Amino acid sequence: MATPQKPQRHQCYALLTLGVMLAPLLAIHSAFAVPVQGRLQIPNALHQQGERETSRRPQHHWRLPNGFVRGRTIRFQPERHFAVVLIGDGGGESDCRYRIQGGNFLPTTLVVQAGSEVRIENTDPFPHELFADTIDGFSALSTAPGNARSFSAPNEAGHHEIRDRLYGHVIANLNIVENLVACAEVRPDGSFQFDSVPAGNYELKVAYGGTFVASRKIEVVTGQDLQISNPIALELERR
Amino acid sequence: MLLTRAWSLVLSFLTAAGIAAAYLACGDLQTRSNHHEDVLLSSHQWQIEMWLNKQAMLQIGWTTAFATDDETITGLRRASQHQSKQIGNDLMRSVKSALRRVNNNLEPSQKADLVLAVNAAGTIVAALGVDELPSNAALDEMPLVRKALEGYLRDDVWVFGEDVYRVAARPVLDRGQYVGAVVHGLEIDDNFARNLGEKAPGSAVGFFFRNRMVAGYLPPGNTTGTRELWSQPLEQLLLENESLKQGRPTVPVDLAGGLRAMYQLVTGSASFAQVGYVVVRRAVEPIDPWSLLLNADQHEVMSLLPMVIGIVGVGFAATLLFMFIERDRPLSVFIRSTKQLASKERDRLAPADFNAPLRTIAIQINDALDQAGYHASGDPKPSRPADINEILGPTLDEEPAQPYFGFASQVVQEEEVPKAPLAALEDSKPGIAFEGLGVPAQALGEQKDTHERAQPQPQPLVPATADPKDPPSNASAAHPHPSEDQFPRADFTDGDDDEGATMIAQIPKELIEASMDEEELDQEQAHFREIFEEFVATKRQCGENTQGLTFERFSKTLEKNRDQIKSRHKASEVRFTVYIKEGRTALKATPVKH
């Protein structure tokens, strides 16, 4: 029986040397990356969304007002529905984070690099069984709380729908793009921020559902934070 | 035995009709029972749906205890003030303690298996029934919680982990402000299924999650199979059944083990996860007349017993009656005659007194007696003139006042035949041999007369040794004829039915005539003419009407009877003589063998 060989000492030295050489380069690169901030102009229509029927069966026997206080409308959550990304030369590697939280995707609009490995965390206290009919190998598997579901994004740009076999309301729109550079964190007020963007020319895109509803060319200059002055208007189709 | 046989046929027909009717009735009953069971099954499915609806409302009411608990309200208000911040552990423990306390104070049937308290942002503050909560776990996107946070009371069905819960939620209000919501969950387990199943007596209720059963209730008696049986068609139904896809219950589905079931997805978001319920009933057992009889109510059986006994009694009595009429009574007559024969009160049997089988026996007995007598005396085989009554059986015409001429049956079809009285053939010419004397009438001709029949009457025995010069005193009783305008008819029936009727095989006239030369024909015509004249004269002498009596018709009748007698007795010639019988003119025929 063959005994696994231990790494040779000189190999360890070689890796250490490589790391020492690359570290300054990465530090320099980070030093020149700057945050990019902006704001989305959310149409009022999006604040009034009804409950989505997910099957032919009624979703409840009863839905009654509480009888004491008038009902309220939960505000529209841009952070849950919009994805703001940068696309440009040299893209392909991104730090975008996708998860399920509060009983649904966060965000429900996903923009991923074509061919990349996508990882979706389950932060809910119950399992989900995500699947996508149009993506090979992405069949329904149970993802326990705290675990993540990974799959390979298709190589071609396009749109796919990810669903949960347990909860009909859980739907994510997966948008496959080339040259994805970064994903912004969208806040409840509609503002967003890319934490660290290297200098260069990019196209900022806003995705909502399966479509991109806004796009803007931006130039990031080394050492200068970029604050996009005007809110980004969204070209929403009548949904 | 016509009546008996006809009665047997009627009984057979009635039996067959009864059996057929029983099977038809069973088939109809089966169809109706199946339909009734399906209606009942559908009704129970509907009842289950209604009870789920009602219990959902009750469960919404049970959430009130949590939503109105001060400690819970306070905890949620405080938690809502931290909307995007980490909720402190102390606060979470406090709310959880409050939830546990409230839950423990509920009625046993109202106790929740799952309780969740969320702040106004939907973040879970405390939970009962959940082993471990991830930090900052939230439910704000769950439709039930979202609607509760918007101020509504709502119910739903959740798949939560491996289990299925029926859940209800309501908002928690604090001084007019929404501070969160509470969720009350009941696990859909056997206890849950039993509470529902008891509302549908005789039906089993089960809950399925995809193709496995997660809960079930079997009614007492356990006639509704097992959960494994219920789940067998689930995979295919969930994949293909259009009713389920459209949100409707399936039609009753046959399961193994003689079960019928209806499947339906639950009302709630878990229907998307293929959570549903099934109502199962035992299908109607195949119904057949025997099982129907065995399973019949004893009181109903007893109430029908008199009618059954009555029908059997009537049927049996009718059978006995017919057997008495057609078997026992003739047999009794025969036995009495044989006793008289044995006691020498008579020296021959009268075959005409008996029906077909007995008549044959009587003829054979007579023949045997004749042969025994002649053997004893050393004489050759006896021959005597044929007694037309003995051969043909007694005859009776429609009007007993007229004499009867009974040579052969064919005459009855001849409308043109002349009227003539019946003549009993007697041993009028000693020394003339006649081999067919003792031949049974049945054997004389196999053809049955299908023509008009006359009612026979028993005739007195005609002794073989009767004096030919006094034929009326010993001959068979002549049967009156209805009218002299009508030619007498011969009847070969035995009096009860036409079973024993005999007839003389008819030989084609052309064949017979061809065998006769012209001289013989002339002689015969002369004989017929002589007989006719003597016949007319005798009739006039007896004061009988001779109007319409012509030689042509008379001779035609004689020819036909001649032919038959010749054929029957293989005689070469038949001689007719006229005599007076009981004051009426009669004819007798004597076969002659050269």
Give B472-482 pLDDT, tens digit per residue. Answer: 434 333 344 43
Q: Are strands B259-265 and B253-255 parallel, antiparallel or unpaired?
A: antiparallel
Residue carrying the six token digits 């028993």 = B458
Q: Which of B382, B402, B413, B340 is nearest to B581 (CA)?
A: B402
Q: Is the dihedral of CA B219, B220, B225, B228 positive or negative?
A: positive
CB contact under 8 A, A51 and B146: yes
Enumerate the β-bridge partners of residue A194: A36
pLDDT of residue B458: 41
Distance from the B79 Cα atom to the nearest Cα atom in chain A, whole angstroms = 16
Cβ atoms of residues A120 and A153 within 8 Å: no
Q: Which of A150, A176, A141, A42 is nearest to A98 (CA)?
A: A150
Distance from the A141 Cα atom to the nearest Cα atom in chain B, whole angstroms = 13
Q: What is the dihedral of CA B111, B114, B117, B121, to 10 degrees?
A: -150
0.90 surpassed by complex ipTM: no
CB contact under 8 A, B170 and A66: yes
Residue B413 per-residue DSSP state? G
Enumerate the β-bridge partners of residue A64: B153
3-state secondary structure of B182: strand
How far, in Å, CA of B165 to CA of B216, rounded?
A: 14
Q: Check: pTM over 0.90? Answer yes or no.
A: no
Chain B contact for A119, CB < 8 A? no
Q: Which one of A224-238, B200-214, B569-583 scores highest in mean pLDDT?
A: B200-214
Q: Which of B348, B434, B431, B425 is nearest to B388 (CA)?
A: B425
How far, in Å, CA of B295 to CA of B300, rounded?
A: 11
280-299 in chain B: CB under 8 A from chain A: none
Query: Tokens standing for A219?
Result: 């130039």
3-state helix, strand, coil in chain B (%, to 5): 45, 15, 35
Mutate to test the interface with B, among A56, A59, A186 (most CBs of B within 10 A): A59
Higher pLDDT, B80 or B86: B80
Strands, E, within B21-176: which ranges? 114-119, 124-128, 152-160, 163-174
Query: Tokens standing for B480?
Result: 């009156």
Residue B41 contacts by C-beta under 8 Å, 6 or more apart in sequence?
B203, B252, B260, B261, B262, B279, B281
- Compute the average pLDDT of residues A181-195: 92
pLDDT of residue B38: 92
Residue carrying the six token digits 């109430």 = B303
pLDDT of residue A224: 87
Residue B33 contacts by C-beta under 8 Å, 6 or more apart in sequence?
B284, B287
Q: Are strands A117-122 and A98-101 parallel, antiparallel or unpaired?
A: parallel
CB contact under 8 A, A57 and B137: no
Summary mean pLDDT of chain B: 78
Question: pLDDT (tens digit, 9 = 90+) per residue, B480-533?
Answer: 443 444 344 333 333 344 444 444 445 555 555 555 567 777 888 888 888 898
Q: Which of B403, B401, B399 is nearest to B422 (CA)?
A: B403
Residue B430 in this model has a pLDDT that exceeds 70: no
Cβ-based burial of A122 (10 A; exposed 0-12, middle 13-18, buried ≥19)? buried
Distance from the B185 Cα atom to the nearest Cα atom in chain A, whole angstroms = 14
CB contact under 8 A, B141 and A63: no
Higher pLDDT, B351 or A217: A217
Confidence of residue A53 (pLDDT cuts 50, 70, 90): low
No. of helices (H) and no. of strands (E), chain B = 19, 12
Cβ atoms of residues A219 and A89 within 8 Å: no
Chain A contact for B181, CB < 8 A? no
CB contact under 8 A, B143 and A57: no
Query: Tokens standing for B154?
Result: 């709502």
